[in-house]
Structure 1
Amino acid sequence: MTADPRPVPSEAESTAEEADDGDGGYRVRDRLERRAIAVAAVVTAGVLSLLFYYPVATVFVESVLVEGTLTLAVFLEILRDPFYFGDLARLFAGESPLAVGRDLLSSDRRLGIVGFTAYQAALSTVLSVALGVPAAYLLARYEFRGRRLLRSLTILPFVLPSIMVAVGFVATFGRNGTLNGVLGVFGLGPIELMFTLEAILIAHAFYNAPLVARVTTAAWESVDASAVETARSLGASPMRAFRDVIAPQLYPAVMMGAALTFVFTFGTFPIALALGGFQLATVEVFVYRLVRDLNYAEAAALAIIELLITLGILYAYLRYEASHAVRSRGIRPLPRHPLSPPTLSVRELLPRAGLAVYAVIALFVFVFPIASMLYASVSGPGGFTLDHYRFLAERQATGAAFQVRPWPAVRNSLLFAVGALLIALPMGVVVSVLTTRRYRGRKLIDAVAMAPLAVSGIIVGLGLLRGPVFGIEFAGWRFAVGGAVAIVAAHAVSGYPFVVRTVAPGLEGIDRSLIESARALGASRWRALVDVELPLVWPGVVAGAAFAFAISMGEFSSTVVLATGTDQYTMPVAIERFIGRRLGPATAMGAVLLVITSISFVVLDRLGGESFGI
């Protein structure tokens, strides 16, 4: 037998060779981990471009490209049309500004659709601030049982579906609503508030006053108590100390709440459609009507004008904030006083009496509509009944194919919410990571990533409809997505900014030494993120998931555009179709939607606490 001429490696050489192989594998894995965040950023940017920026760009193109010709004629027609701009349209037609201004100040002025939208948004803002600031005063200055729960309830605008709230207001203020029922007991009424501006304003206050209260409470709680004590020691009265020390730190927060309220109510859709109809229609309602009439060019142009107005308001606020913001030193917050102390002086009694009056108004505005909806869902002419729920069951069993049936609406809402969550959550986490890293240009990335907050669902829905749903031609091929996929995409775009707003503050507040220690021990940026950062902000991640799920469940604006003429309707769309025909089934469906969204709210409150960055 011939001996093998190849040398046999020693044990040490074999061990070294295995170590080399191990080091090589580690280096490959390390390179992948080091690039994982960059890859996630690229994928997120691609998804966001596909689901948001391309559809919105499609709306822009629709407004300036008519039958293959680049033109601004559609914009000019809208600007010069008194139907949209009232007397202001005469300015765009070349009339004298003095004559137009004189007519605008007269009692018979014409506002037009855009003017009325701005008018109701301004009134809604004033009412929301008037109801939100006292709530902030109560939460920031007094200690009482249930204060934390009441503070948590200020996130309701982001959780409760707007169409469900509209049903509650119909059940409250309708001719046969609970308000007239209560007034009838005392021999008063009836009062008809449906399809009036007052109903729209109160509904807007329901949504936006808690937002004003939340941001103002945070500002009030960050006031330095020592500054107030210094002012008092120098002879300032309590009113003077408030005016010179506290108020300047509250103004930016109040202005922020007011600006956001104006933007949200200027782009109002479900509330105005359900409570005002087309006789009190806003810009958003007419955009929807134009889409339904297949007038896409005019709808796109009107939507762009609306977007420019809202972005202008936000820009004006940001300029104000930059010049008036007061940095809180946060040394020692103002102490809270017991709401019900053993003894009260006359001076202490007056603000508490005012808060008692405010509590009655708050119950009427914030609690009564939801309670009325629940009551209407189980009541009828003969008293307590489950007929409205039986109607839903019968409609499910025997309804025709073209009729709205409950189970498909519930099923679609749940499936779309899960799909939107699976997209919105990773997108939101990645954007949170990118916007909390220290590098040049991160503020620009933050602004671009948060753009969906400033763009209405109607514009997103219209863009998805005219783009991916109708089909995109590329290299001779035509690509189209189904209505369900487009709806999930629209819901994900609506929900992911709220994931960012709950996760990013937590990442920003992490002790950087923990991350540096992990990196010093050999962890890649990706491994430090997964093993150190995300576990520390896990409650915020879960809270963001709850937000995304709840927002998808209640999303109406984009859904009603994409679901028109299909069987992809959700519970909010089903409620809107019921509400115009039979209020009872609409309230029953609203109660079902309330139960499902409340589950998300409970998760949100339990796991997120007061740490949300919204």
Structure 2
Amino acid sequence: MRLALMAVPLAFFAVFFGYPVAAIVARGLREDGRWDLGGAAEVLGDPVTGQVLAFTVGQAAASTALTLALALPGAYVFARLDFPGKQLLRAVVTVPFVLPTVVAGSAFLALLGRGGVLENAWGIRLDTSVWAILLAHVFFNYAVVVRTVGGLWSQLDPGQEEAARMLGASRFTAWRRVTLPALTPAVAAAALMVFLFTFTSFGVVQILGGARYTTLEVEIYRQTAQFLNLPTAAVLTCLQFAAVLALLAVHARTVRRRESALRLVDAARTARRPRGAGQWALLGSQLAVIAVLLVAPLAVLVERSFATSDGYALTFYRALAQVPDSSSTFAVPALHAVGNSLAYAAVATAIAVVVGALAAAALTRRAGRLVRGFDALLMLPLGTSAVTVGFGFLIALDEPPLDLRSAWLLVPLAQALVGVPFVVRTMLPVLRAVDDRLREAAAVLGASPLRAWREVDLPLVRRALAVAAGFAFAVSLGEFGATVFLARADAPTLPVAVERFLGRAGELNYGQAMALSTILMLVCAASLLALERVRTDRFGEF
């Protein structure tokens, strides 16, 4: 049964991840049909490579710690507290996650850089500093922690913690000994995803770090796109793989020791109105964090989408609907990117949910090294250079029976690769928390494995499934690294269209980039809000 569940995810990753990445690495390390590894030792022994690796790991660890510190209280607020505008706010905090990094980097420059809000108000500049990079990473990954940890936290039975308090434990002691151990798998999953995203950080470091700071991802891009040095890029890609695999091995070893069956309840019954000064203060502090770190950069983008040399107007929005001229980089009006993005994201979400759900079901029970290796494989796309994946698709999928270069499906396939890990990591802690005795009871009563999963697991994990679908959709909407190589000129996505406008000089191009970014934010917020309502309306009762 387990092998049958693993078959589809294994085939998907083998064809659309392993094969393209192996093709691009082989192109860089093979010359005249022979492997040429002489330059690998030179690249790995270069002190610059060591410095880049050290900074990459250091900033990723610091970004992960800072994100957890600021977002875990937010996970509690969204999981346990009920307040007006909660669904809308949950959608808003996810919007930064789908923004192209070049856009968000520009917004943070307006806040933290020369002449920015921070300098004008307090005379402080943080651009080209590590703090700018860390804060931008919190901006992007706050929603990862809130939605991943909050998804499980909202389903934990609060009665267990209340029982500990009745036995004399303080509120903090009851949380530390009862709730925190139950949340450990979800916290570890969120930390892993944040670390992988920041470990492969590209746009944020390139824009906010300046020439002083660089990551492996930035260096791979430079060696590939600027210097056309595929051998060095291939070596750095392998180094990135090795680091990610080591991290995944440590994660698998530490988390599995802490997994246990939990009592899950309807999430709608666990959220209550804030009670006491402490909960109101916590809610207020999280609203302040969201306002300063998440909403302020978004507000800058909106303001710039209306700001023209003659004052505020809809000039840039009107220009998006105009038919492009012969000098434009677009074959269709830029506004068509909205429909393209929604269509691609819908297909990518469907693929990611099917593949990810099958993979999560296969990983539900503890198993040997084969299954642990399968678990690590699912996370590799998050730790792989998007440049490598994009080029790999173009190089590998160009011959029958996999000649997909002109197929529209190529874009959602690439987007689904990034969505699958979120589906797996969101659903897996909940699936593993289901008591095996429930499945055994269903089997004793004559239920087949499929029916047992439908009758026992599905009612408990459908909330997590909705959260996973929302994540996959948001990730697909904002995916840029691989899509920029694959999207056709007559079918650009919103992030690709934004990048094209930012790559051209002039106030009109910059304004249209900000207008498209604002539209992307609104589309994402509306889509996520709709998913929240569907989840509440259809899955509110078990």
Normalised by the shorter chain, which TM-score bucket?
0.7 to 0.9
| Greater Cα radius of gyration, structure 1 or 2 | 1
1:462 corresponds to 2:387: no
Cα shift at 1:555: 0.7
CA distance in 1, matches of 2:75, 2:430: 24
CA distance in 1, matches of 2:270, 2:533: 26
CA distance in 2, matches of 1:251, 1:544: 18
Pairs within 5 Å for 1:269-308? 269-277=202-210, 279-292=212-225, 293-308=227-242
CA distance in 1, matches of 2:419, 2:179: 35
CA distance in 1, matches of 2:280, 2:527: 34
Pairs within 5 Å for 1:391-406? 391-393=319-321, 396-398=323-325, 400-402=327-329, 406=334
% identical aligned pairs: 32
Cα shift at 1:284: 0.9
Aligned to 2:526: 599
- Judge conservation of contact 2:240–2:383 (CA < 8 Å) in 1: no
In structure 2, relative to structure 1, the CA distance for the partners of 1:442 and 1:124 (3 Å cut) is closer
- Judge conservation of contact 1:168–1:587 (CA < 8 Å) in 2: no
Partner of residue 490 from structure 1, selected from 410, 414, 418: 414
1:375 corresponds to 2:299: no
Cα shift at 1:254: 4.4
Report which stretch shifted further, 297-306 or 492-501. Answer: 492-501
Aligned to 1:316: 250
CA distance in 2, matches of 1:222, 1:40: 27
What's the secondary structure of 1:557's corresponding residue? coil
Aligned to 2:33: 68
Pairs within 5 Å for 1:331-346? 339=274, 341=276
Partner of residue 515 from structure 2, selected from 588, 607, 612: 588
1:124 corresponds to 2:51: no
Aligned to 2:494: 571
In structure 2, relative to structure 1, the CA distance for the partners of 1:165 and 1:608 (3 Å cut) is farther
In structure 2, relative to structure 1, the CA distance for the partners of 1:137 and 1:530 (3 Å cut) is closer
Cα shift at 1:590: 0.3
What's the secondary structure of 2:324's corresponding residue? helix
Say what the alpha-carbon RMSD is for the aligned residues. Answer: 4.8
Cα shift at 1:166: 3.6
In structure 2, relative to structure 1, the CA distance for the partners of 1:363 and 1:276 (3 Å cut) is same
In structure 2, relative to structure 1, the CA distance for the partners of 1:438 and 1:305 (3 Å cut) is closer
Cα shift at 1:552: 2.4
Aligned to 1:83: 48
Aligned to 1:98: none
CA distance in 1, matches of 2:459, 2:170: 48
CA distance in 1, matches of 2:353, 2:307: 40
- Judge conservation of contact 2:382–2:418 (CA < 8 Å) in 1: yes
Pairs within 5 Å for 1:208-227? 208-217=141-150, 218-219=152-153, 222=156
- Judge conservation of contact 1:575–1:590 (CA < 8 Å) in 2: yes
Cα shift at 1:372: 1.9
Instruction: State how many pairs are aligned.
Output: 527
Partner of residue 559 from structure 1, selected from 483, 487, 502: 483
Counterpart residue type for residue 222 of structure 2: R
In structure 2, relative to structure 1, the CA distance for the partners of 1:40 and 1:299 (3 Å cut) is same
Cα shift at 1:573: 2.3
CA distance in 1, matches of 2:154, 2:457: 30
Counterpart residue type for residue 386 of structure 1: L
Cα shift at 1:67: 3.8
In structure 2, relative to structure 1, the CA distance for the partners of 1:419 and 1:140 (3 Å cut) is closer
CA distance in 1, matches of 2:364, 2:24: 31
- Judge conservation of contact 2:100–2:478 (CA < 8 Å) in 1: yes
What's the secondary structure of 1:52's corresponding residue? helix
Relative contact order (alpha carbons < 8 A, sep ≥ 6): 1 or 2 greater? 2
Counterpart residue type for residue 190 of structure 2: G
- Judge conservation of contact 1:273–1:285 (CA < 8 Å) in 2: yes
- Judge conservation of contact 1:424–1:495 (CA < 8 Å) in 2: yes
In structure 2, relative to structure 1, the CA distance for the partners of 1:420 and 1:229 (3 Å cut) is closer
Counterpart residue type for residue 596 of structure 1: V
In structure 2, relative to structure 1, the CA distance for the partners of 1:597 and 1:514 (3 Å cut) is farther
In structure 2, relative to structure 1, the CA distance for the partners of 1:518 and 1:48 (3 Å cut) is farther
TM-score (norm 1): 0.69
- Judge conservation of contact 1:227–1:245 (CA < 8 Å) in 2: yes
Counterpart residue type for residue 266 of structure 1: F
In structure 2, relative to structure 1, the CA distance for the partners of 1:368 and 1:526 (3 Å cut) is same
